[in-house]
Amino acid sequence: MSKLRVQSFTLSLDGYGAGPGQDLDNPLGRGGADLMEWFFHTRAWRRMHGQEGGETGVDNAMAEQGFEGIGAWILGRHMFGPVRGPWPDDSWKGWWGEEPPYHVPVFVLTHHARPSFTMAGGTTFHFVTEGIHAALEQAREAAEGRDVRLGGGVATVRAYLRERLVDEMHLAVRPVLLGTGESLFRDLDLRALGYACTGSIAGERATHVFLRHS
C-alpha cells in the first residue's frame, strides 16, 4: 500500500508550523514567512516558479526528495486559501497562480462542497467533505500505487497523526522563534502514538528531522 508522507514540513524551534492571522498577505500567518527561508533559496523553489539558478545543497536535496514518488496530495482548507465558511463563488483557485506545483490530484479537506477543477500542468483539485479518512482513501486510489503527500497545514497534520495514519514525516526545523501561532506537537504524545525519530541531517538553513510510525 502507498505511504502517507509528510515532507518538508517546516517548524520553528519552538514548535510552530505557522504564525497567527493568516490572510492574503500572510499565507503562513504573521512571521510565518521566516519558516520558509530554507526553501526559498533552493533550486527546487526557483524551478517551481520558472526561474533558473538556486542553491543545490542539502536543503535543496530534501526539497526535491519531497516530490519523488508522489501520486496525490492532501491539503487542509487553510493550505488551499484564506477563504472561510461557505465558498462565496468559485473564483479562488489557490495561492499558486495558473499552474500549481503539484501536477497530480490534490484533495482539499473542507466542510463546504465545491466542484472539482483542473489547472495548468495537470493539477486537479477535489474537495472532500467526508473527513480525513475519506480523503486518504480517495487520494490513495488516485495515486495508483504511489505515495500520498500530506501538505498541511498544522491542524490537518495533527489530525492524521492522532489517528496514526502518517507513515513517514520529514520536518525542516528552522532556528527561529515564533512565540505564538499553530503548534504541531501541543498535547500530542508522538511516542505513545507509535512514532520514533529515525535520523537527522543539518542543511544550510534548516535541520532536517525524520520520523516513522512503527
Give 34's strand partners: none
Give CB contacts under 8 A, 24+ apart, made by 48-51. 48/101
SS3 content of the chain, % helix, strand, coil (to 5): 20, 30, 50
Judged on CB neighbours under 10 Å (0-12, 13-18, 19+), 47 is middle
Residue 24's pLDDT is 80
How far is 208 from 46, CA to CA, in rounded Å? 20
Look at residue 96 in the predicted model and tell me its pLDDT: 86
Angle between helices 132-143 and 154-162 (to 10 degrees): 90
Apex 203 CA angle, 23 and 209, nearest 5: 75
SS3 sequence of 141-162: HHHCCCEEEEEECHHHHHHHHH
Full pLDDT tens readout for the chain, 214 residues: 799 999 999 999 999 999 988 888 888 888 888 999 999 999 998 988 788 999 999 999 999 999 999 999 999 999 998 888 999 999 999 888 899 999 999 999 999 999 999 999 999 999 999 999 999 999 999 999 999 999 999 999 999 999 999 999 999 999 999 999 999 999 999 999 999 999 999 999 999 999 999 9
Domains of the chain (ranges; CATH) run: 4-20+27-37+70-84+98-213 (3.40.430.10)
Strand partners, 197: 211
pLDDT at 48: 83
63 contacts 42 by C-beta, under 8 angstroms: yes
Dihedral angle sign, alpha carbons of residues 124, 3, 154, 135: positive
Q: What is the reported pLDDT for 60?
A: 96
